[in-house]
Structure 1
């Protein structure tokens, strides 16, 4: 495995990460039935669908974890012990969480003891639209419409939680931390 091959996968992951930074999109709709208000429809125009963002985040974790095989082969080509990368990952909480999240996504849940010891899962994407991000808000009898003119001012969150809904971290932050850790390990593999 060459540095160019490892770098190519890192660049792919960074492109995925770049998509996470933009919420521009066509919008989405949903409906709810309230106890008080009855049936209501909602639409948000100008931001990407939460499902699209969720897909991008999940792809980011899967590709981040796929990097392990590349870094392992790369480290072997530089004379490292075959278990070197496993020991490094076990000592880094961010990569251990990434391993559990990616394996859970790929296999429909974890089939073995969690590497992190924490059973991490991704919550649902949530948006918080700031007033200055909305250019138009319309209320109708059974419909509310939001037009977002500045998606950069929409706050988005996606927590990493455990089986008991305890917050373990933020998915966006973890992806950033994992990229830094992998880059450090690639450097260490060459030493």
Structure 2
């Protein structure tokens, strides 16, 4: 593996991270049936769906974790013991959490936890400030929200342990994990 391959991975992570920041999209709908049997339909126009956000988020987790293998190969090519890269993971709780989430996403279940928490990504949610809403249409069983400014939408996903304790916000954990690779990894690989 060459340094060029590592640079391509860094660029890929940057592109996926940028996609997380772009909230615009075609919209999505959701239905809810109340205990009395009434079903209400909710439509959100002008934003990306929670599923698309979640897909992009999980992609970043997987690629950030893949950085470990890239760094180990480049370090080995430069005469550095690849165990030094494992030491970076051992010293970063964020990288360990990223490992749990990426491996769960790749394998469907997590049998072994690098963090010890068996970290899991919770279903994302979104909020929108009043400033971002262009129009709300309310019908008997329908609500349509037209988002005029997607930058006013905030997507959030918590990370929880096996016991249900909150370990952090997914975006913050990713930011710190990327920073760990860039600062600590640069000791061994430029």
User: Shorter-chain TM-score: which interval?
Assistant: over 0.9
1:190, CA displacement in angstroms? 3.8
Shift of 1:33: 1.2
TM-score with structure 2 length normalisation? Answer: 0.94
Matched, 1:111 2:115: no
The 1:120/1:71 distance shift into structure 2, 3 A limit, reads same
Could you report, residue by residue, the CA deviation over 1:23-67 in whole angstroms, capped at 9, with x for unpaired residues?
Answer: 100000011112368211110001001000000001111111111
1:70 corresponds in structure 2 to 70
- Report the equivalent of 2:31: 31
Unaligned runs of 5+ in 1: none
Aligned to 1:48: 48
Instruction: For residue 186 of structure 2, give the secondary structure of its aligned residue in structure 1.
Output: helix
Aligned residue pairs total 190
* Alignment partners' CA distance in 2, 1:164 and 1:26: 36
- Distance (Å, rounded) in 1 between the aligned partners of 2:130 and 2:52: 23
- Tell me the alpha carbon deviations over residues 124-161 of structure 1, each in whole angstroms, 9 at most, x when there is no partner: 11011211111100110110110000111112210111
Is residue 57 of structure 1 aligned with residue 40 of structure 2? no
- Between the aligned partners of 1:49 and 1:190, the Cα distance in structure 2 is 38
Deviations 1:140-186 (A, max 9, x none): 01101100001111122101111222110111112211221111233
Q: Which moved more, 1:101-110 or 1:30-39?
A: 30-39
Q: CA deviation at 1:188?
A: 0.7
The answer as to whether partners of 2:13 and 2:63 remain within 8 angstroms in 1 is yes
Moved over 3 A (4+): none
In structure 1, the partner of 2:11 is 11
Q: Distance in 2 between matches of 1:82 and 1:23?
A: 38
CA–CA distance in structure 1, aligned partners of residues 28 and 70 of structure 2? 38
Q: CA RMSD in A?
A: 1.5
**In the TM superposition, what is the alpha-carbon distance from 1:3 to its structure 2 partner?**
2.2
